Structure 1
Amino acid sequence: MNQESRTRVGGAPPPPERRSDRDGATGFEVPLWRAIAVFRAASLVYAAYMVADTFRLLAHPVGAVAVLVVMAAWTLFTVWAYGPGRGTVDERLLAAADVAVAFACLAATALVVEPVYLRHAPPLTSTWFAGAALAAAVVGGRRWALCVALGHGVVDIAVRVWLGLEISAAVPRGVVLLLLAGYSMGYLAHYALRAERRLAEAVEIEARTAERERLARSIHDSVLQVLAMVRRRGEELGGEAGELGRLAGEQEVRLRTLVGGGPAVERPENGTDSADSADSADSAEAAGATAGAGGPGAAGSRGSAGVRTSLRGLVPSLRGLVSSWGRSSPGPAPTDAVVPSADLHAALAELASSRVTFAGPADPVRMPAPAVAEIRAAVEAALANVDRHCPDGTRVWLLLEDEGGQVTVTVRDDGPGMPPERPEEARAEGRLGMSQSIRGRIRDLAGTTEVITAPGEGTEIEMHIPVPEETAR
């Protein structure tokens, strides 16, 4: 099975952006802020317990309770500010105010406790101070975390000096723990931001690639086929028509290179690519108009008229292309939108003819209407390939299988076949028939396409498409 590889869009990554350059919260930050909010609330409860447990060591109990009230009020405010109210206040200013309040509550310990208090308990803020340090690390990165941790040590030492206490081992221990927690949080936030940015870039590239492939299919099924037909007929008719055909051939090669994203190979003077799709209906009618009365030996004026008739078919195709160029590729329908369904069995049964034999289940095969249209277009492209590249009288069998969660559509012919590697070679040369008109459509439906062929053994194309749960029987 020859699988189509996706087009890769290269380019140097943009320079890393600073946290302050972005508005609002990104996806990874939401759980971080929730975790910090829970940590603040739990730390506040622990600080209140420590004050109650060492109440007898407080020089000013009312002042200690006031500090706890400030801590509680600030906790509620930060939970709102970093959560639902994000964007109301600049996050850097908010983080700076957060750290300032935490330092103020830490310094207030010197005013409301007895000197012996710090020998039995931590400062009033206890572990609550770490909530501000973690928030600063998320907003400002590892440097802010380092500064806050060192600042905590300086203020803690100042409080102990104010109370006439010696510097104990608890001071550097607290600085180290705060430094490790803040630095780790800043490191995590930094790389999570980079990962999220790269994911957003990948999603954007994927959307652009899908849009490019959609336009490539439209161009291939219309404009490229008209240009190819004008070139062939112009070369056959010669004269003024031959010059027009030569110009059309040059534009075909350039346009095929543009939409294919790879090198285009000139068509051979006689014959066509066996992996390309057939001419559109307008092209076939125009070819009939040029060959009907005089054929290759007609006068140059008649040949020119025929080529001009062919070029008229290019105008509506170009109009459709220009009108769709600015549109974004259709994304998934909203979850509450009702997508109409259609019967794939009935849509494919209409393609049966004297040489196309169709077989399918007796019951309707319901699928979303857009998917049915894309599958039918892929099958029509496969049948057009048979019309164009196989001898007259080639038989085609079209089979539809409903497997519950998946449908399989098979197009098999008894034509001359082709080397198994030819479809991939054609795609590398910029040919879009198999790669976009068939494989591209099925891939956009989350399906897969398998091509089984060999010289003298015909060609079989199997398309496997998943059926959405809401339409699966």
Structure 2
Amino acid sequence: MTGLPERARSRVRGATLVDVEHPLEPFWRGVIAYRLLTLLTVAGVTVYHLGSGYERPAAAVGVLLVMAAWTAVTSWGYLGGLPGAPDRRGRLALADLAVCVAIMATTPWVVRVDHLDAGGPGMGSIWTSGAVLACAVAYRVRGGTAAALVISAALVLSKERFGVLELGDIQLLVLAGLTVGFASHVLERTASRLRRLAAEQAAAAERERLTRSIHDGVLQVLAHVRRRGAEIGGAATELGVLAGEQETAVRALLSGSGTTDAHGRRDLAAALRILASERVTVAAPGRPVEFPAAVVDEVEGAVRAALANVALHAGPAARAWVLVEELPGAVEVSVRDDGPGIPEGRLAEAEAEGRLGVSRSIRGRVEEIGGTLTLDTGPDVGTEWVIRLHRGDT
């Protein structure tokens, strides 16, 4: 199945993949079937009343032929057209609506007044409601309702009357637009959840496979280095601490904190929790703090760079705290240490000397994702970096 092209996979019968990746395909095929059946109905009615119901019988036959040709065009288009082609069925549904209105507009010119007075249908009749269904599938409730109102207006204007018969037709059109539109919305939302669940299950299976492989190698080596470093003491102690930090980080990654969901989003809080160690304390909300994966990657990189500066400049005994805080419309990530602080003018001096570590690793990352960065530092007060991310509609 995975070797099939996307278009071919959408037509595989009896597979869950059809419902998840292309949930509205049965609705589009239903629109096609409805359009074909209503065309046959209208053709039968037209032939039956051809001698008495039409002012211009030849024009009625001509309009019927146009309807047949347009049915063929929409049937091909609603099937999806050529394999691999862009999905333009929404635009086709709007064009279908316009064609239906044009066909209904021929009613005063083609159909006899006494035929309409007797309750006879106008041009297009029930066939035109196919455009309402198509718009409902393409644009959900709003599209179905709007299309129903357009066809209803065209019905009243073309027949130049508004009675019980027309009111009943309008009610059916609106009901069809609302029902099919709502059903399409629910089905698409359900399929989206299924896709997300399938992606999470695949990621969990991959993590399980990696966990078995890494546990027998990398994790055991890191755990051994951590223990031996503590036993030997001296300079080896620092190596043991670093090995322990990396062991914690790898275990956190394997637990799923780095997983990107089906919508390309990651949990920022979970991504930063893996940075916790004996010298680094991380506090974050218990619920997910989701951002696009690229944003989380850059924030994580900036925080790692800030923590690396703590280890490099504040000494091995310095401690650091990472805090993730949710604010109205924003999220703040602060990295604070208890070191001696950055002397005034030191960062500018480093940039002048061509050493752009802070600018590129921290400030550059934050600016790249549209965030803001502030620095609070001074002698004997430590250093605090604050990254502010605007949530908006993310």
TM bin, normalised by shorter chain, reads 0.5 to 0.7
CA contact (8 A) 1:28 1:192 kept: yes
- Identity value in percent: 39
User: Which secondary structure does the structure 2 equivalent of 1:117 belong to?
Assistant: helix
Moved over 6 A (4+): 262-267
Aligned to 1:171: 166
Q: Note the alpha carbon deviations across 1:174-217, whole angstroms, 9 max, x for none.
A: 00001001111111111211111222122222222222332222
How well do the aligned residues superpose, as a CA RMSD in angstroms? 2.7
Please say which of residues 235-244 and 113-122 is displaced more in the overlay: 235-244
Q: Note the alpha carbon deviations across 1:407-451, whole angstroms, 9 max, x for none.
A: xxxxxxxxxxxxxxxxxxxxxxxxxxxxxxxxxxxxxxxxxxxxx
Aligned to 1:130: 129
Aligned to 1:214: 209
Distance across 1 between alignment mates of 2:232 and 2:65: 94
CA contact (8 A) 1:81 1:88 kept: no
Distance across 2 between alignment mates of 1:245 and 1:28: 53
Going from structure 1 to structure 2, the CA distance change for 1:238 and 1:147 (only over 3 Å counts) comes to: closer
Aligned to 1:121: 120
Going from structure 1 to structure 2, the CA distance change for 1:114 and 1:250 (only over 3 Å counts) comes to: closer
CA contact (8 A) 2:104 2:155 kept: yes
CA contact (8 A) 1:137 1:182 kept: yes
Going from structure 1 to structure 2, the CA distance change for 1:53 and 1:130 (only over 3 Å counts) comes to: same
1:99 is aligned with what amino acid? L
One of 89, 92, 96 as aligned partner of 2:90: 92
Matched, 1:32 2:6: no
Aligned to 2:325: none
Q: How many residues matched?
A: 239
CA contact (8 A) 1:54 1:117 kept: no
User: Which secondary structure does the structure 2 equivalent of 1:123 belong to?
Assistant: coil
User: Which secondary structure does the structure 1 equivalent of 2:79 belong to?
Assistant: coil
2:111 is aligned with what amino acid? V
**Please, what TM-score do these two structures have when normalized by structure 1?**
0.46
Going from structure 1 to structure 2, the CA distance change for 1:61 and 1:88 (only over 3 Å counts) comes to: farther
Aligned to 2:152: 153
Going from structure 1 to structure 2, the CA distance change for 1:46 and 1:208 (only over 3 Å counts) comes to: same
One of 37, 40, 48 as aligned partner of 1:42: 37
Matches within 5 A, 1:318-329: none
- Greater RCO structure (CA 8 Å; 6+ sep): 1
Distance across 1 between alignment mates of 2:91 and 2:256: 47
CA contact (8 A) 2:119 2:165 kept: no
CA contact (8 A) 1:212 1:259 kept: yes
Aligned to 2:54: 58
2:255 is aligned with what amino acid? G
Distance across 2 between alignment mates of 1:239 and 1:152: 85
CA contact (8 A) 1:106 1:124 kept: yes
Going from structure 1 to structure 2, the CA distance change for 1:78 and 1:26 (only over 3 Å counts) comes to: farther
1:112 is aligned with what amino acid? V
> Which sections of structure 1, spanning at least 5 residues, go unmatched?
1-24, 268-473
> Which sections of structure 2, spanning at least 5 residues, go unmatched?
1-19, 258-272, 279-394
* Structure of higher CA gyration radius: 1
One of 110, 113, 125 as aligned partner of 1:112: 110
Going from structure 1 to structure 2, the CA distance change for 1:142 and 1:232 (only over 3 Å counts) comes to: closer
How far is 1:89 from its partner?
Answer: 6.8
Please say which of residues 138-147 and 76-85 is displaced more in the overlay: 138-147
Aligned to 1:305: none
Q: Note the alpha carbon deviations across 1:217-237, whole angstroms, 9 max, x for none.
A: 222110111122233334444
Aligned to 1:197: 192
Distance across 2 between alignment mates of 1:246 and 1:154: 76
Distance across 2 between alignment mates of 1:77 and 1:106: 19
How far is 1:53 from its partner?
Answer: 1.6
Aligned to 2:63: 67
Going from structure 1 to structure 2, the CA distance change for 1:234 and 1:127 (only over 3 Å counts) comes to: same
Distance across 2 between alignment mates of 1:252 and 1:148: 60
How far is 1:141 from its partner?
Answer: 2.3
Q: Note the alpha carbon deviations across 1:126-157, whole angstroms, 9 max, x for none.
A: 21111111001111222222222222232222
Matched, 1:81 2:77: yes
CA contact (8 A) 2:104 2:123 kept: yes
Matches within 5 A, 1:15-414: 26-55=21-50, 56-85=52-81, 87=85, 90-118=88-116, 119-161=118-160, 166-260=161-255
How far is 1:259 from its partner?
Answer: 2.5
CA contact (8 A) 1:96 1:136 kept: yes
CA contact (8 A) 2:80 2:87 kept: no
